[in-house]
Amino acid sequence: MSTVKYTRDHEWVRVEGDVAVIGITDYAQTQLGDVVYVELPELGRKVEQGKEAAVVESVKAASEVYAPISGEVIAVNDVLSGEPGKVNLDPMGEGWFLKLRMADPKELDALMDEKSYSGFVEGLH
């Protein structure tokens, strides 16, 4: 079974071997409203944990998406350029943003699991 972890900035990361799939959470897409544009990094770019990796724009706001962990970008979800609404419809599935080759899996330890993240979101209300 794959591991899914969460950040306080409402990104999720799903680990598949040494690859990390990254997106934004259901809570994030609800708060943003209709997503109209996603700016994704170029392949090969090295991103650092906690630093900007992508930008998501909704009808209300533009927000940075921070890399939950460090690594090199090996894939981006090109479908989002034509259908950004996938982020709203299926944030944890078809609405994924990018894939990284992880630099240091230990970084995952600093992230929340699903239970802690649910508690964190509860605390925001």
Partner 1 sequence: MRYLPLTDTDRREMLAAIGVDSVAALFRDVPRGVWLERPVDLPLAKGEIEVERALGRLAAKNLPAGSVPSFLGCGVYRHHLPAAVDHLIQRGEFLTSYTPYQPEISQGTLQSLFEFQTQVALITGMDVANASMYDGATACAEAMMMANRLTRRHKAILAGDLHPHYCATAATYARFAGHSVVERPPDPTAEDDLAALLDGETSCVVVQNPGCFGHVRDFSALAAACHRAGALLVVVVTEIVSLGLVKPPGAMDADIIAGEGQSLGNPMGFGGPHLGLFATREKFVRQMPGRLAGQTVDVDGRRGYVLTLSTREQHIRREKATSNICTNSGLCALAFTIHLALLGEAGYVRLAELNHARAAAMADRLARVPGVTLLTQSFFNEIALRLPRLAAPVVDALAARGVLAGVPGGRLWPERPELADLLILAATETTTEDDIEALAAALAEGLR
Q: Using CA atoms, how far apart are residues 72 and 100, in angstroms rounded to an integer?
A: 5
Side by side, the strands of the sheet bearing 62-66 are: 35-39, 52-58, 62-66
- Among the candidate windows 35-43, 97-105, 108-116, 117-125, which touches partner 1 by CB under 8 A? 35-43
C-alpha atoms less than 13 angstroms from C-alpha of 3 in its C-beta half-sphere: 13
For partner 1, the binding residue among 62, 79, 89, 110 (CB under 8 A) is 62
Per CB under 8 A, does 43 bind partner 1? no
List the one residue from 30, 43, 61, 118 that touches partner 1 (CB under 8 A). 61
CB of 52 to partner 1, least distance (A): 9
